[in-house]
Amino acid sequence: MLRWFEENGKNSDVVISGRVRLARNINGFHFSLKLTNEDAEIMDAEILTKLKGLKAFEQYHIFQFKDLDDCQKTAMKERHVISDFLLKRDTAAGLVSEDENISIMLNEEDHIRIQAFVSGMDIDKAYELANDIDDTIGGVLDYCYDEKYGYLTTCPSNVGTGMRASYMLHLPALTGSGRIAGLAAEVGRFGLVLKSLGIDQNNYGDIYQITNQYTLGKSEKEILDNLTNITEQIVEQERTLRKQYISRKRLSAQDTVYRAYGVLRYARKVSLGDGMLLLSQFRLGLSEKLVKPSSDIDVSIYQLMIGIQPANLQMMSANEMTEEEIDIARSQFIRDNIPLIQ
Amino acid sequence: MLCENCNVNEATVHFTEIRNGVQTEHHLCSECAAKLEVPGYMENYGNEFPFVRLLTGLLAAGGMAAVQRDTAMQHICCPGCGMSFEEFTRIGKFGCAECYDVFGPLIDDNMKCIHGSNVHRGKIYKEDSSGKDSENNQKQSESGELSFEQQLGKLQMNLREAVELENFEEAAHFRDEIKALKEGNNKDA
Ligand SMILES: [Zn+2]
Ligand SMILES: [Zn+2]
């Protein structure tokens, strides 16, 4: 079974994945702000007991922070199984589907955060998955729900549907032509937020996330359709810019991709920043057929982008690695996994 | 939404200011809110911001004397989780479901500002039971009684009117009625 980041879905030249996240709280416990660690532990245990027995979760792995070390938790965050917020919690637990496409986080900013990932541009499928889980959980637990405000959340910005839907986008051409800021302002008018996945807004392999800003007053379908419509336009813009650049400067474009491949294929030390940049250039080259892979097997480059994150590399080693050792391990990982070209 | 003062940071502090009868919405980041000494955000808030005073008065109205109102800030809290109003305006987040009953009606305009709407139109939880509700409600409407939604809407309007007129005791009374109505409705469901 492939994980969402191991395959390429619809419009995969630009759209890496779609994700739907639902925020839910249950009656009987204060929200996270006012929940003590002790009560959080009781809550997590109660929820786990109720969910564990259900058929829907038979194949799920259960995790509890008290059984995990920092590296394991960080690696889960790098694979998007858990959120940045959850990572910083003292007490947390959850359930993860075997392929890691669906995860249920407990004691996040809200008691329950359900998230579903799909590869490519198929947010409806992601919603379907999350919604089914929501029905199952809502059937055995008592959600905080209000006729007027809908699903009640810790933060007023999540209230109503409690839903955030997002696409992860690869936008090297829009980035290279300096159009991201303008684009971000444009999508803002449609109630969407576009942001770099990099820390402190640093470039992160030209990977961006576009998410709905409003959660109250619109149906889930309206929110999802709006997101998909605007994302389709971004996909078109990115494609047009890529075509323009390649038709004007084909040799330069090809040169960049071959250089990236050369370093990825032969370097003995690769920093995270370099790795992300080079993989982004190589991904663009494959998408636009500037280079030809030796095999027909469709390899997801985003999978490599996740694999080269520090905690995931650390997980594969028996000993604690220094930064330099991680750079060496990163180059090895890339050599082992990068698709060869003709 | 970006902070209206610096236009750089995300706005996390949302509040309504009423000055000389004119109501305006403000959206600031936490830094600017602290810098501009937004009341309720800072410990030593001034009296020239009626919105915060109104809330203070409303929440303190449960039997407290008028004199005590201005210093009552630290005593006001959500009966469910103990969230104080000062804390609520500083953090901008709810501490429990009951907080929505306490602070919700007072930030209705802010909700509109954040989302462009203040009423949920998405998935309905436990559709079966709420389906029965709306049948009941319809029957009640036919017999001349108000439906739950209508009653709730009316009470919330009364509450906000009372707040605007600084009728704190009346407002507290409406707040309790809203709570009772909602509890009654939940038991029916
Ligand atoms: Zn600011
Ligand atoms: Zn509360």
If asked whether residues A291 and A215 sit together in one domain, one would say no
Which residues on chain A are in Cβ contact (under 8 Å) with B1?
213
Does the CB of B110 have a partner CB in chain A at under 8 Å? yes
What are the strands, taking DSSP E only, across chain B? 13-19, 22-28
Q: Which of A148, A189, A223, A224 to mutate to test the interface with B (most CBs of B within 10 A)?
A: A148
Chain B closest-CA separation from residue A75 CA (Å): 28
Distance A24 CA to ligand 2 centre (A): 16
- List the one residue out of A60, A65, A72 whose CA is nearest residue A41: A65
Tens-place pLDDT, residues A220-236:
999 999 999 999 999 99
pLDDT, residue B136, reads 41
Helix (H, G, I), strand (E, B) or coil at B158: helix
Tell me, yes or no, whether A342 lies in a domain. no
Q: Are residues A81 and A168 in the same domain?
A: yes
Q: Taking CB atoms and an 8 Å limit, are A33 and B91 in contact across chains?
A: yes
* Count of domains for chain A: 2
The answer to whether A313 and A333 have CB atoms below 8 angstroms apart is: yes
Q: Pick the range with the lowest mean pLDDT from A8-12, A32-36, A103-107, B145-149.
A: B145-149
User: A45 and A166: one domain?
Assistant: yes
DSSP code string of B137-157:
HHHHHHTTPPPHHHHHHHHHH
Q: Can you list the residues of chain B whose pLDDT is less than 50?
A: 18-21, 39-74, 129-144
pLDDT score for B166: 67
Q: Are residues A208 and A328 in the same domain?
A: no
A310 and A261 belong to one structural domain: yes
The CATH number of residue A109's host domain is: 3.30.590.10
User: Best residue in A22, A26, A27, A30 to probe B by mutation, most B CBs within 10 Å?
Assistant: A30
Provide the CB-side half-sphere exposure for A172 (13 A, CA).
Answer: 24
Q: Which pLDDT score, from 0 to 100, does residue B21 have?
A: 44
pLDDT computed for residue B38 by the predictor: 56
Q: What integer pLDDT is reported at residue B31 of this predicted model? A: 77
Give yes or no for B128 touching A (CB within 8 A): no
Closest approach of B139 to chain A, Cα-based (Å): 19
* Containing structural domain, residue A209: 4-242
- How far apart are the CA of B1 and the centre of ligand 1, in A? 11
Domain membership of residue A177 (yes or no) is yes
Average pLDDT, chain A: 94
* B81 at interface of A, judged by CB pairs closer than 8 A: yes
* One domain for residues A136 and A256: no
| Shared domain check, A187 and A231 | yes
Residues A188 and A317 in one domain: no
Same domain, A188 and A292: no
A25: contact with B, CB 8 A cutoff = yes
The contacts of residue B46 (CB under 8 Å, 6+ apart) are B37, B39
Query: Considering every ligand atom, which ligand is closest to the CA of B33?
Result: 1
pLDDT for B90: 78
Q: What digits encode the pLDDT tens for the residues A157-209?
A: 899 999 999 999 999 999 999 999 899 989 988 999 998 887 544 567 899 99
Condensed to tens digits (0 to 9), the pLDDT of residues B152-183 reads 877 877 777 777 666 677 777 777 888 888 77
Do A220 and A282 lie in a common domain? no
Q: Who's near A67: CB < 8 A, 6+ residues apart?
A: none
Range in A6-15, A333-342, B120-129 the model is least confident about: B120-129
What ipTM did this prediction achieve? 0.87
Instruction: Give the span between the Cα atoms of B126 and B186, in whole angstroms.
Output: 12
Task: Report the DSSP beta bridge partners of residue A24.
Answer: A112
Task: Encode burial over A11-21: b for 16+ CB neighbours within 10 A, e otherwise.
Answer: bbbbbbbbbbb
- Please check whether residues A294 and A157 belong to one and the same domain: no
